[in-house]
């Protein structure tokens, strides 16, 4: 029984159809003319050679294809004739997939007429007709003003060499080409005449029409040959999927558009956009593709995009555009979870950290990536711990906010690079220190690379007592006790911690240093102590430490649910404090420091009901010089109590 399909897939439509059907489980053989074409196509079997009608007929008989699909270029009439002849000779079903036309007008019927016309003109000419018909220019008399754009393969370059075209007049590139890229080439070469074919939307014809109108070029279009009766790509995909019993779903391409400039699109992204029957995305992104004459809907919210896709389930190909890369602080992350009834194709792009670092000639493999624009980063902690930090900026957290914050925490003299309008013509990258740049005005949506040569990422337990700012009559947890208490907390980088009775803030500071992606709330009622905590916060560069003035548990209600709690002083409210914290998170891990026997008795009774409890008695003595002798001076003994409703496996 026949169950195979052959696709002549040398065009975008052919590649998309071959990939779609192959992924749906259809046995596809794709025929292309070159090794370069072979590298672009996805199929079960790929044949990369030019076949005449006899070779085609042999292939059809040998492989016993059920149907042959002709997706060749509309100007490749000879190939189409060969396919039809071979199908007729072998009694194989033939299907033509036609390329939609953007404009019905024609200008020149063939290459002979085009060359005759161009002889009568003046000014530089850009030919985008490819390499197969370059021989028509052999004795044209205007090679000195002819520039050609061809595929970057040896046969194309050989065709250029055969007519003695100067190497400086050869542009070897793979399309599709955006409006901006066409414009840049034309202006750079001082082109006055554009020679092209009507390649339809997929072939980038709309961009050529638009650029010719905008720049006042003489557009010479070689008329499209009459196509065989056929169907569109969408119709062919649906028909063949159903015929071969494949389960077909709408293909939703989630496309990274880089920084917004369409010149930075990958070739894969361009193909999927060109093939889409619906394009969804932010207004600034979709406007780049208005010339495609494709239905477009401006939307940025994941839930609404998912609804739009659901309402267009009858379409075969939908493209959703996101700026940057879909893996870097992108709205695509939320969208993925909503797309369960479609085939999702993620397509990567060039993100702003990659682009900015490349422009600066700075390696980015060791850059810490964060986003102030997303509102979820402790920027000072990142700068303190990493030599290179990249951040997205926007809204209230713009370049001014960044400079102001760095200055406040003692980083006013480190180097910043602020990128505005990256990848666009008005791109600006400004370098300077935070102190130098705070007076400058920048666009709200910018990117920044921060370089701190003195950064040092280390675990910080037991910082020397004399390193902290002290205030008279305000107690401070000593270094040895801090080190043991923090080891009992078993913190993670993203822990949310409450420090009840912060004192000078020594425990809060050490916790904050060890949870760079988390948060520390220091609850303190003493005005002098609060001043000390504030000074230590800025001295140790811990922007993830928030000071809460008042008495616990009254001030705990609006705070985030903690994962950990350290209680250094409870003012007689120990039980109510623990109850209030457990109401926020029943699995909170507690560490309690106790000095007085009265509080110890209360704590032992309170912690009996918890699934885990450990009590450590700690005595510390330090040397003190007395004349010629060193004596050990004992500090007050202390009880460190760890408790909570959790598994003790990490404490065994």
pLDDT tens figures, 575-616: 999 999 999 999 999 999 999 898 899 999 999 999 999 999
* pLDDT above 50: residue 104: no
- The CATH topology of domain 1-99+227-246 is Rossmann fold (3.40.50)
Mean pLDDT of 358-377: 90
What digits encode the pLDDT tens for the residues 501-539? 999 999 999 999 999 989 999 999 999 999 999 999 999
Gap between the Cα atoms of 5 and 2, Å rounded = 9
Mean pLDDT of 93-103: 75
Mean pLDDT of 471-496: 92
Instruction: Report residue 1's pLDDT band, with 50, 70 and 90 as the boundaries.
Output: very low
Gap between the Cα atoms of 117 and 5, Å rounded = 43
* pLDDT above 90: residue 408: yes
Q: CB 375: neighbour CB atoms within 10 A?
A: 10
Gap between the Cα atoms of 413 and 435, Å rounded = 6
Is pTM beyond 0.85? Reply is no
Say what the pLDDT of residue 106 is.
41
What digits encode the pLDDT tens for the residues 632-646? 888 889 999 999 997
- 583 vs 459 pLDDT, higher one: 583
Region of poorest pLDDT, from 92-101, 158-167, 222-231, 328-337? 222-231
What digits encode the pLDDT tens for the residues 412-453? 999 999 999 998 889 999 999 999 999 999 998 899 999 999
Say what the pLDDT of residue 47 is.
94
241 Cβ contact list (under 8 Å, min separation 6)? 20, 21, 24, 26, 247, 248
β-bridge partners, 633: 622
- The CATH topology of domain 465-651 is Rossmann fold (3.40.50)
- Among 88-102, 130-144, 424-438, name the most confident range: 424-438
DSSP string, 305-332: HHHHHHHTTT-SEEEEEESB-TTSS-TH
Average pLDDT, the chain: 88
Say what the pLDDT of residue 255 is.
95
CATH class (in words) of the domain with range 353-451:
alpha beta
Say whether 571 sits in a helix, a strand or coil.
coil
Of 169, 92, 93, which is closest to residue 127 (Cα–Cα)? 169
Say what the pLDDT of residue 105 is.
41
Is 157 buried (19+), middle (13-18) or exposed (0-12) by CB count in 10 A?
middle
List C-alpha distances in Å: 530 to 441, 471, 505, 518, 537: 35, 10, 8, 21, 10
Say what the pLDDT of residue 456 is.
79
- The CATH topology of domain 111-222 is Rossmann fold (3.40.50)
129 Cβ contact list (under 8 Å, min separation 6)? 111, 195, 196, 197, 222
The domains spanning 259-341 and 353-451 adopt the same CATH topology: no
Q: What residues does each domain of the chain span?
A: 1-99+227-246, 111-222, 259-341, 353-451, 465-651
β-bridge partners, 251: 317, 343
Say what the pLDDT of residue 538 is.
94
259-341 classified as CATH 3.40.1010.10:
yes
List C-alpha distances in Å: 119 to 135, 140, 166, 196: 15, 7, 19, 16
What digits encode the pLDDT tens for the residues 615-634? 999 998 888 888 898 888 88
DSSP 108: B
């Amino acid at each position: 029984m026949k169950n195979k399909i052959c696709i002549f897939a040398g065009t975008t439509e052919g590649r998309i159809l071959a990939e779609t059907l192959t992924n749906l489980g259809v046995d596809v053989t794709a025929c292309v003319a070159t090794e370069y074409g072979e590298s672009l196509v996805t199929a079960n079997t790929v044949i990369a050679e030019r076949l005449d009608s006899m070779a085609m007929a042999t292939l059809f008989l040998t492989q016993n294809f059920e149907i042959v699909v002709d997706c060749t270029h509309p100007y490749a009439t000879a190939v189409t004739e060969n396919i039809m002849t071979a199908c007729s000779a072998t009694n194989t079903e033939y299907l033509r997939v036609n390329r939609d036309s953007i404009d019905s007008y024609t200008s020149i019927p063939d290459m002979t007429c085009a060359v005759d016309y161009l002889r009568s003109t003046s000014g530089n000419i850009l030919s985008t007709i490819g390499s197969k018909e370059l021989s028509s220019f052999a004795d044209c008399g205007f090679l000195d003003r002819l520039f050609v754009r061809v595929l970057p393969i040896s046969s194309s370059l050989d065709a250029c060499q055969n007519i003695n075209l100067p190497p400086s007049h050869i542009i070897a590139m793979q399309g599709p080409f955006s409006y901006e890229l066409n414009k840049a080439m034309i202006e750079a070469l001082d082109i006055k005449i554009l020679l092209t074919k009507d390649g339809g939307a997929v072939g980038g014809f709309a961009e050529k029409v638009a650029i010719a109108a905008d720049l006042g070029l003489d557009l010479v279009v070689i008329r499209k040959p009459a196509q065989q009766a056929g169907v569109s790509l969408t119709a062919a995909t649906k028909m063949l999927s159903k015929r071969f019993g494949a389960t077909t779903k709408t293909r939703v391409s989630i496309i990274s558009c880089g920084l917004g400039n369409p010149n930075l699109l990958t070739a894969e992204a361009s193909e999927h956009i060109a093939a889409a029957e619906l394009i969804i995305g932010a207004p600034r992104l979709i406007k780049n593709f208005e010339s495609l004459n494709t239905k477009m809907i401006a939307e940025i919210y994941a839930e609404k995009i998912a609804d739009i896709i659901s309402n267009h389930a009858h379409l075969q190909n939908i493209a959703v555009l996101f700026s940057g890369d879909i893996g870097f602080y992108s709205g695509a992350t939320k969208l993925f979870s909503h797309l369960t009834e479609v085939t999702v194709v993620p397509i990567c792009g060039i993100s702003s950290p990659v682009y900015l670092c490349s422009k600066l000639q700075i390696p980015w493999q060791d850059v810490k990536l964060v986003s102030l624009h997303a509102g979820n980063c402790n920027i000072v902690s990142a700068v303190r711990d990493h030599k290179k930090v990249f951040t997205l900026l926007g809204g209230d957290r713009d370049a001014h906010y960044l400079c102001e914050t760095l200055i406040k925490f003692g980083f006013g003299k480190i180097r910043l690079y602020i990128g505005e309008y990256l990848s666009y013509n008005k791109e600006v990258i400004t370098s300077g220190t935070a102190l130098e740049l705070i007076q400058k005005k920048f666009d709200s949506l910018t990117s920044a690379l921060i370089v701190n040569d003195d950064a040092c990422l280390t675990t910080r337990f037991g910082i020397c007592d004399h390193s902290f700012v002290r205030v008279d009559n305000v107690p401070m947890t000593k270094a040895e006790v801090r080190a043991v208490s923090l080891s009992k907390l078993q913190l993670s980088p993203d822990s949310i911690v409450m420090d009840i009775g912060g004192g000078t803030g020594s425990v809060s500071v050490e916790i904050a240093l060890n949870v760079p992606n988390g948060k520390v709330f220091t609850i303190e009622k003493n005005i002098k102590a609060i001043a000390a905590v504030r000074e230590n916060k800025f001295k140790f560069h811990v922007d993830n430490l928030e000071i809460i003035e008042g008495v616990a548990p009254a001030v705990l209600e609006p705070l985030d649910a903690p994962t950990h709690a350290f209680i250094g002083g409870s003012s007689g409210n120990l039980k109510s404090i623990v109850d209030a914290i457990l109401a926020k998170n029943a699995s909170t891990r507690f560490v309690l420091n106790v000095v007085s026997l009265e509080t110890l008795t209360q704590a032992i009774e309170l912690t009996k009901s918890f699934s885990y409890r450990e009590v450590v008695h700690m005595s510390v003595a330090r040397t003190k010089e007395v004349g010629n002798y060193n004596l050990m001076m004992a500090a007050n003994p202390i009880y460190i109590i760890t408790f909570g409703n959790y598994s003790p496996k990490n404490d065994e």
